[in-house]
Every structure is written in C-alpha cells, then in structure tokens.
C-alpha cells in the first residue's frame, strides 16, 4: 500500500496553517508533514492532529532564519551552539507530536568558509544530533537538494549523503530521498532508490520541470509507485509539490495513479 502524506507547507496554502490539517483530512490523507512547527505551541498542532486523526510523519530541525534565505545552519562553523540548541528544541516538539523522524537541512555554505571546514562542522553536528535523537527514539535524516533551486547548498547528491552518513559513524543517520531534487541532480531514480533502500527512511515527490504534481512533467510516477512497492519500500511518501492550478485540482493525480 502506498502511504501518502500531505506536505502542509506546499499544499492547502490558501488556508491559514492550522486550518490545513482539516483540509488534508477532508482530502483523504492520513498523514501530514511540513517544514517547521516552531511558530506554534506543540499543543496547538497536537490538537489538530488529534481532532483530524492525522499522523505527523516528518518535520525539520530549526534551520536558521528561513525568511532571510537561510536553509539550515549545520555546516556553519560559528553557529554550532545554536544548531545544538535547535536539536533540543526539535526533540521537545517531536516527543509532544509523536514524530519518529526529523530531517536536517544542512545549509548553504557561508561566504568565506572553505568546503572542508564546512564538511567537518557538518559531520560533527550530525553526529551530535544523531546521538541525541537516538536517545529519544527518533531517527535523523539528511536530504540532498538540487543546486539549481538552492545555490550553494552543501549537500546535492546521494553519494555525498552516503559519505556523510559514513563519516558520522552513526547508525541513526538516514537518507531522505526527494525524487524531484534527485531527478534534477542525478536521474537514475529507480536504481538509486533500490541500491540504497536500507538507508532511505522517507521519500518526497514532485514532478520536473516546475516542481508540480505527478503527471505535469517528465518523471514516470506510474512506474515509480509500482517500483517502490515491488522493492518493499515501507515508508511514507511526502507530497511536496507546487499545485499547478490550486490544491484541489492538484490532487487529481492520485486517482489517475490508482492512489
């Protein structure tokens, strides 16, 4: 069975955030994900999850000043204390919201910081976060993101992510595989997923070009959904796309794919 989670950062954006949970449930979703919960008290979000019988399957660690263009601080040598405080805050929210996995957006390399220092900083922070989350019963994920959408982002490919996982020495660090980002960076989607299935804990989708819903671009999602079932992927698939003609119309692809 294909398990789809509505990404509330991208879907139902015509509604205030706390109203999107009801809309997701009305649209037939059993689970949701989003970028960050930190603008709200945990109890506010927990009430929406309870009222609408939804599972929260993923959110991110704090990622710096998002509105100012920051996309994570885990590779910033001068902000390790801030990163580690954010890990504690994320664990607090995750425990109250029943989240079993958190994603770390590793960040854009700061101007004047060389790649090796950024890598060493990142590996140390990932090791710290993975250990802290493991003690709390929560998995840590990292996500490669294409360099076209976020210029300067440190982590762009599956192989880079695998190298970071190995360098961390942690058995609590896994891969979040975003089909859209990896189509732009690598292609070879099916074989990459199959080879790394043991480390992939979460999948996200959007089509390319345009990051729209499945069926609006070049990716053969009918094949990929069948393939994920065939190889035994058990996790959730987050619907993290930009609806091309509004959320309601942008959900029609599910029926077209038998979902």
- Per-residue exposure over 101-140, b if at least 16 CB sit within 10 Å of its own CB, e if not: bbbbbbbbbbeeeeeeebbebbbbbbbbbbbbbeeeebbb
The predicted pLDDT at position 237 comes to: 98
Catalytic residues: 143, 240
Alpha helices in the chain (DSSP H): 20-26, 42-51, 80-97, 115-135, 158-168, 179-185, 189-195, 221-231, 253-256
Across-strand partners of 174?
Answer: 141
For the stretch 170-228, pLDDT in tens is 999 999 999 999 999 999 999 999 999 999 999 999 999 999 999 999 999 999 999 99
Strand (E) or helix (H) holding 176: strand 173-178
The predicted pLDDT at position 63 comes to: 98
Secondary structure in 3-state letters for 54-101:
CEEEEEECCCCCHHHCCCCCCCCHHHHHHHHHHHHHHHHHHHHHCCCE
Q: At what angle do helices 80-97 and 42-51 cross, to 10 degrees?
A: 30
pLDDT band at 123 (very low <50, low <70, confident <90, very high): very high
Q: Which of 153, 163, 200 is nearest to 189 (CA)?
A: 200
Residue ranges covered by each domain of the chain: 3-256
For the stretch 220-254, pLDDT in tens is 999 999 999 999 999 999 999 999 999 999 999 99
State phi, psi for 147 to the nearest 5 degrees: -80, -5
State phi, psi for 203 to the nearest 5 degrees: -125, 140
Which CATH class for the 3-256 domain?
alpha beta
pLDDT averaged over the chain? Answer: 97
For the stretch 128-148, pLDDT in tens is 999 999 999 999 999 999 999
């Amino acid at each position: 069975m294909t398990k789809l989670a509505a990404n509330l950062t991208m879907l139902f954006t015509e509604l205030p955030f706390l109203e999107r949970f009801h809309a997701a449930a009305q649209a037939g979703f059993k689970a949701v994900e989003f970028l960050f919960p930190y603008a709200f008290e945990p109890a506010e979000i927990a009430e929406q999850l309870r009222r609408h019988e939804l599972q929260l399957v993923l959110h991110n660690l704090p990622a710096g000043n998002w509105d100012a263009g920051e996309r994570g601080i885990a590779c910033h040598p001068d902000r390790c204390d801030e990163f580690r405080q954010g890990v504690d805050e994320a664990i607090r929210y995750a425990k109250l919201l029943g989240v079993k996995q958190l994603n770390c957006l590793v960040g854009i390399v700061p101007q004047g910081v060389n790649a090796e220092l950024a890598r060493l900083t990142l590996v140390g922070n990932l090791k710290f976060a993975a250990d802290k989350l493991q003690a709390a019963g929560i998995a840590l994920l990292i996500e490669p993101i294409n360099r076209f959408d976020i210029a300067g982002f440190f982590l762009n490919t599956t192989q880079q992510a695998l190298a970071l996982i190995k360098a961390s020495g942690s058995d609590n660090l896994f891969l979040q595989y975003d089909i859209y980002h990896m189509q732009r960076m690598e292609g070879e989607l099916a074989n990459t997923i199959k080879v790394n299935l043991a480390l992939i804990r979460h999948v996200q989708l959007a089509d390319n070009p345009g990051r729209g819903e499945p069926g609006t671009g070049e990716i053969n999602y009918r094949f990929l959904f069948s393939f994920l079932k065939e190889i035994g992927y058990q996790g959730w698939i987050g619907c993290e796309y930009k609806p091309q003609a509004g959320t309601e119309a942008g959900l029609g692809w599910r029926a077209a794919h038998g979902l």
